[in-house]
């Protein structure tokens, strides 16, 4: 190989080298102990050469060796500079100019807040499945298949016979069986109904169910718990009232209204259905209704978040519209 060819070969190899390890290999191959350039000198029969030839070889060799060292040094500097980010068009240690932090969705925030309040009152937070059996969603709650109450909750049925739960009451049976009595628990979660959508109806919405079961639990306990809970949510003294309401899984059943000065106006606001747990539901949950009694309520978590934050249309919550969600980041 001629000297010029060796230099060319070295240059083209170095152009493809981007790491320190690869560079060390190239260095060894050319100027190492057994390197291409180093060996040039070993393989020459100086005894057979004229003085002129010796001089010419010597200067050519020295030039090549010096050039090779220079090329290797330049490559080493290039690799080191890239490793430290120099020479790049950006500094990736600088903070991004587009730092958009996420925030907790207003419904989930409301849920967390309510869970904390109930925990402080001795309630357990219990979660369940969104796809449940027909039994859990209806039959266990005293709603047999021919009961007109089924028509009130237009249901999404799955091909395997299960349903997307239409209400968090679907957790009642499981909670009674798994937790037993005495019991104080809330179960928040997403519910699904095939609704005609309007400003207060979504097909996907959140409820928070609550149950308290024990010896001698009465309507008075229901009123007291609801009053304390709502006073904590709205951070002011809240009055509640019960009106009769019908649900097959409570007896007697109520609609609970509360009164506050929301928006400067003192008025009654319809908030949630509730009632004393029907004896059949207790029995289905493995409890003896002559020994245990309890209350249950089904809070519309989505509606409460609307009330609390003055959101006029429930559909805004599910739209993933940043202009809506961003309004809640400041209050985290
Ligand atoms: C029920 O779902 C009963 N399971 C509640 C219950 C629990 C009664 C325990 C007695 C004892 P209802 O269908 O009314 O009831 O729904 C309860 C709340 O869920 C409503 O007050 C409302 O706030 C909310 N809700 C119901 N449907 C929708 C919907 N399509 N969009 C948004 N919120 C809804």
The domain of 154 spans 106-325
Residues 123 and 259 in one domain: yes
Ligand 1: residue whose CA is nearest its atom 26 = 300
Å from CA of 167 to ligand 1 middle: 7
213 lines ligand 1 (CB under 6 A): no
* Position 329 confidence tier, pLDDT thresholds 50, 70, 90: low
**Ligand 1 pocket test target in 273, 274, 304 with most atoms within 8 Å of CB:** 273
Give the number of the atom of ligand 1 that is nearest the alpha carbon of residue 166.
Answer: 2
Q: Tell me, yes or no, whether 65 and 110 share the same domain.
A: no
- Which residue CA neighbors atom 5 of ligand 1 most closely? 298
pLDDT at 332 > cutoff 70: no
Q: How far is the CA of 223 from the centre of ligand 1 (A)?
A: 18
CATH number, domain with residue 128: 3.30.930.10
- Predicted confidence at residue 142, as pLDDT, reads 96
pLDDT for residue 265 is more than 50: yes
Distance of CA 186 from the midpoint of ligand 1 (Å): 15
Q: What is the pLDDT of residues 237-255, one digit of tens each?
A: 899 999 999 999 999 999 9
**Ligand 1 contacts CB of residue 250 (under 6 A):** yes
37-41, 66-70, 91-95, 199-203: segment of lowest average pLDDT:
91-95
**Count of domains observed in the chain:** 2
Q: Are residues 56 and 129 in the same domain?
A: no
Nearest CA to ligand 1 atom 14: 273
User: According to the model, what pLDDT value does residue 1 have?
Assistant: 67
Q: Is 205 in the pocket of ligand 1 (CB under 6 A)?
A: yes
* Phi, psi for 64 (deg, rounded to 5): -60, -45
Band of the pLDDT at 331, cuts 50, 70, 90?
Answer: very low
In this structure, the strands spanning 267-277 and 250-260 are: antiparallel
The protein residue whose alpha carbon is closest to atom 3 in ligand 1 is 298
User: Does residue 196 share a domain with residue 161?
Assistant: yes
Ligand 1: atom nearest CA of 253 is 10
pLDDT in tens, 160-196: 999 999 999 999 999 999 999 999 999 999 999 999 9
Q: Is the CB of 222 under 6 A from ligand 1?
A: no
Tell me which of 17, 51, 83 is where a domain ends: 83
Does the pLDDT value for residue 96 go beyond 90?
Answer: no
- Residue 239 domain-assigned (yes or no): yes
Same domain (yes/no): 180, 318: yes
298 Cα to the center of ligand 1, angstroms: 6
pLDDT band for position 48 (50/70/90)? confident
Same domain, 154 and 235: yes
Q: How many CA atoms lie within 13 A of 316 on its CB side?
A: 19
* Cα separation of the two ends of the chain: 73
How far is 19 from 80, CA to CA, in rounded Å?
9
Residues 291 and 215 in one domain: yes
| Confidence band of 88 (pLDDT split at 50, 70, 90) | low
Q: pTM for this one?
A: 0.72
């Amino acid at each position: 190989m001629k000297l010029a060819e060796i230099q060319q070969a070295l240059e083209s190899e170095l152009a493809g080298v981007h790491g320190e390890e690869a560079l060390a290999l190239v260095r060894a191959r050319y100027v190492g102990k057994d390197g291409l350039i180093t060996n040039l000198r070993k393989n020459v029969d100086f005894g057979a050469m004229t003085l002129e030839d010796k001089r010419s070889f010597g200067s050519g060799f020295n030039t090549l060796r010096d050039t090779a060292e220079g090329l290797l040094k330049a490559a080493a500097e290039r690799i080191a500079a890239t490793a430290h980010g120099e020479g790049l068009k950006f500094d990736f240690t600088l903070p991004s100019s587009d730092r958009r932090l996420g925030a907790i969705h207003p419904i989930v925030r409301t849920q967390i807040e309510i869970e904390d309040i109930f925990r402080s009152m001795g309630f357990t937070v219990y979660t369940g499945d969104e796809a449940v059996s027909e039994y859990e969603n209806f039959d266990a709650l005293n709603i047999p298949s021919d009961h007109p109450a089924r028509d009130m909750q237009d249901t999404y049925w799955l091909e395997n016979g299960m349903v997307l739960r239409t209400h968090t009451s679907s957790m009642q049976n499981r909670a009674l069986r798994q937790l037993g009595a005495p019991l104080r628990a809330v179960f928040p979660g997403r519910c699904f109904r095939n609704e005609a959508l309007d400003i207060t109806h979504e097909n996907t919405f959140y409820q928070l169910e609550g149950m308290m079961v024990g010896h001698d639990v009465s309507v008075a306990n229901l009123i007291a718990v609801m009053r304390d809970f709502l006073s904590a949510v709205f951070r002011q003294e809240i009055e509640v009232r019960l009106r009769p309401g019908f649900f097959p899984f409570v007896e007697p059943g109520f609609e609970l209204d509360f009164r506050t000065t929301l928006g400067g106006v003192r008025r009654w606001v319809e908030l949630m259905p509730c009632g004393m747990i029907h004896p059949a539901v207790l029995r289905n949950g493995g409890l003896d209704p002559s020994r245990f009694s309890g209350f249950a309520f089904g809070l519309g978590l989505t509606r409460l978040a609307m009330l609390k934050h003055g959101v006029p249309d429930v559909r805004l919550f599910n739209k993933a519209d940043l202009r809506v969600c961003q309004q809640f980041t400041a209050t985290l």
